[in-house]
Structure 1
Amino acid sequence: MRPDVLIRTLTDDRRVLAGWAIGATLAGCMYAAFYPQLAGGQMAEAVAAYPQAMRQALRLDDLSSPAGYLGSSVFGLILPLIAMFYGAATGARTLAGDEEAGRLDLVLAHPVSRTGLVVQRFAALTAGAVVIAVAVWAGMLTIRGAAQLREISVGEFAAQCATLALLATVFGAVAIGIGAATGRRGLVFTVTAAVGILSYALHAFAGQLGLDAGKYLSPFYYYIGAEPLRHGMPWGHAAVLAVAALLLTAAGTVVFNRRDLNT
């Protein structure tokens, strides 16, 4: 299978991808740079006044350490939400965007099967997630000294950024599957974003709701639950995210192959 669709997709989306990468990096670095000012003092006192359940849900129990601060704010909230929306937006364009615009028949008129189209578009989405993760990693290393984050090693930053890419890929696969079934871009983005927000809430508040086992259903648990910023690459959790993305994409491919695109 020639990678023509993959190359064309990456070429067409290069400006959009650059925007995602730059935006994620700037947002992450900006909040990370506040660590020396926010890690202690009034911030710590204010957080101490929060209910224990809220501190646990939002990972606010350890703002004094670099890993604790970044794990609660930058990599605990800001960047995973950006990754989720990247996956939702990019996955929505993968099939549903072309179908709504009336271009899908033209694309499939080329020597590419429906399966090949999904596989190559998923590969392009994954490549974009990797680009974003590498940009964030490079940004964190750039400010690591000035922001007093040297306690976190280069490898630990790389591990957290790798799981960030996998998280984006999972939500991209969700969007691809919904797009394969519906062909409606707006619906795909809305449903994928809703799934992402609900899964984040499940991960954060499962314990408080008495649903401890529910966190295992959330991709956010496998993204940050093993605390890569402290312990390095969580290979088991990363494998779960990778397998989930592949299975979701495979399911979407089956639906896409069976659906009558003329209806």
Structure 2
Amino acid sequence: MFETTRYEASRRVRGTAILTIAISLYAAFIVWYFTVLEGVDYEAVFESMPPAMIEAFGIEALATIGGFLGTQIYNFVWLLGLGLYFAYAAGGLIAGDIEHERMDLLLSFPVSRSRLLVEKTLSLLLPLVTLNVVVGAVIYVLVQAIGESIDPMYLVLAHALSIPYLLVCIAIGVVLSVLVDRAAIAERAAIGLIFVLFLVESVVGGASEFEWIQYISPTYYYDPTPILIDGSYELLDTGVLLVAFVVLLLISQVLFQRRDI
């Protein structure tokens, strides 16, 4: 069992290693930069920034290491960067095989469409888990190295609660992947949709007359900065993301079963 998952995951090992190293190096730079900015008057900095930017990247707590990490790494890299990455990767899961005429061969083996889709999706757990475990450990070590402290449980929660959010991004990419025949279209559409949803929650959702629209964005249900600062989070939000992931995956299953290859 899970032959497809093992094969697809093995193809992602190199890319996962490169991405993990790159983000770890970026995290090292950010942690070092925090020491350089010690003593900066952040209130003056906030006054020069548009409110939409402060809201989008959660930069209201830069003076603490937790707030600084939340702004510079988690709101930027985890919410937006990795959200785009996993949606893009998922966008090519099915559409790539259809475009290159490999899907007929895959379905000629004793494997159902449903199982094939699930196993391909599961292959993305390799980068998902690796990034959260390795980068989380690296950040904790770096914070300790500069003489600062961050509650390890808060850091674990920030990474653990990011998984449902990233799973939704994956599911969005999978739905688009079974809808089109070209991987490039599915990948670009997935990137565009995640970016639009990010803007919807952080910018448009801030306007009172459009407040309701933020609830359709997965970024509304995962806010890493409060978690890193004081460990505050809403378990209901995590449940909403998990339900959204399951629903989107079921939709992709139905679409994949009905489409003509």
**Does the TM-score normalized on the shorter chain lie above 0.5?**
yes
Report the alpha carbon displacement of residue 242 of structure 1 after superposing the two structures with TM.
1.8
Other-structure match for 2:34: 35
Q: Say whether the 8 Å CA contact 1:66–1:149 is kept in structure 2.
A: yes
Question: For residues 161-215 of structure 1, what are the alpha-carbon distances to aligned partners after superposition, in whole Å with 9 as ceiling and x for unaligned?
Answer: 1233332221111111111111321111111111111111112111146422322
Partner of 1:126: 125
Aligned to 1:197: 195
- Give the Å deviation of 1:259: 0.3
Compared CA separation, residues 124 and 53, structure 1 to 2 (3 A)? closer
* Alpha-carbon distance change, 39 to 245 in structure 1, aligned in 2, over 3 angstroms: farther
Match of 1:231 in 2: 231
What letter corresponds to residue 10 of structure 1 in structure 2?
A
Q: In structure 2, do the counterparts of structure 1 residues 147 and 161 end up closer, same or farther at CA, with 3 Å as the change threshold?
A: farther
Structure 2 contact 35–146 (Cα < 8 Å) conserved: yes
Inter-partner Cα distance in structure 1 for 2:83 and 2:50: 28
Q: How many residues align?
A: 259
User: For residues 244 and 129 of structure 1, do their structure 2 counterparts lie closer, same or farther at Cα, with a shift above 3 Å needed?
Assistant: same
1:116 shift after superposition: 0.2
Amino acid in the other structure paired with 1:245 = F
Q: CA deviation at 1:117?
A: 0.5
- In structure 1, C-alpha distance between the alignment counterparts of 2:21 and 2:214, rounded to whole Å: 31
User: Match of 1:110, SS?
Assistant: coil
Give 2:170's aligned residue.
Answer: 172
Moved more, 136-145 or 41-50: 41-50
1:94 maps to 2:93:
yes
Q: What is the aligned-residue RMSD (CA, Å)? A: 2.1
Unaligned runs of 5+ in 1: none
Query: What secondary structure, in the 3-state scheme, does the structure 2 residue paired with 1:211 have?
Result: helix
Percent of residue pairs identical = 23
Determine if the alignment matches structure 1 residue 82 to structure 2 residue 84. no
| CA apart distance, 1:82 | 2.3
Matches within 5 A, 1:234-249: 234-249=234-249
Q: Could you tell me the TM-score, scaled by structure 1's length?
A: 0.89
Residue in 2 aligned with 1:254?
254
Does the 8 A contact of 2:136 with 2:159 survive in 1? Answer: yes
Partner of 1:184: 182
* Pairs within 5 Å for 1:199-218: 199-205=197-203, 206-208=205-207, 210-218=209-217
Aligned pair in 2 of structure 1 residues 7, 197: CA closer, same or farther (>3 Å)?
Answer: same
CA contact (8 A) 1:202 1:214 kept: yes
Partners of 2:128 and 2:163 within 8 A in 1: yes
In the superposition, relative to structure 1, how do residues 157 and 149 fare at CA in structure 2: closer, same or farther (>3 Å)?
Answer: farther
For residues 48-67 of structure 1, the aligned pairs below 5 Å read 48-67=47-66
Q: Which is bigger in relative contact order (C-alpha 8 A, separation at least 6)?
A: 2
Amino acid at match of 1:213: W
Which one-letter code corresponds to 1:259 in the other structure?
A: R
* Normalised TM-score (structure 2): 0.90
Following superposition, the deviation at residue 232 of structure 1 comes to 5.3
| Deviation of 1:107 (Å) | 1.5
Measure how far apart 1:39 and its partner are.
Answer: 5.3
Distance 1:250 1:25, change over 3 A: farther
Residue 41 and residue 153 in structure 1: after superposition, are their counterparts in 2 closer, same or farther (change >3 A)? same
What letter matches 2:24 in structure 1? T
Q: Does 1:136 align with 2:138?
A: no
| Alpha-carbon separation, structure 2, partners of 1:177 and 1:26 | 33
* SS at 2:145 equivalent: coil
What SS is found at the alignment partner of 1:94?
A: coil
> In 2, are the aligned partners of 1:95 and 1:176 still within 8 Å (CA)?
yes
Give, in whole Å, the separation in 1 of the partners of 2:259 and 2:55: 45
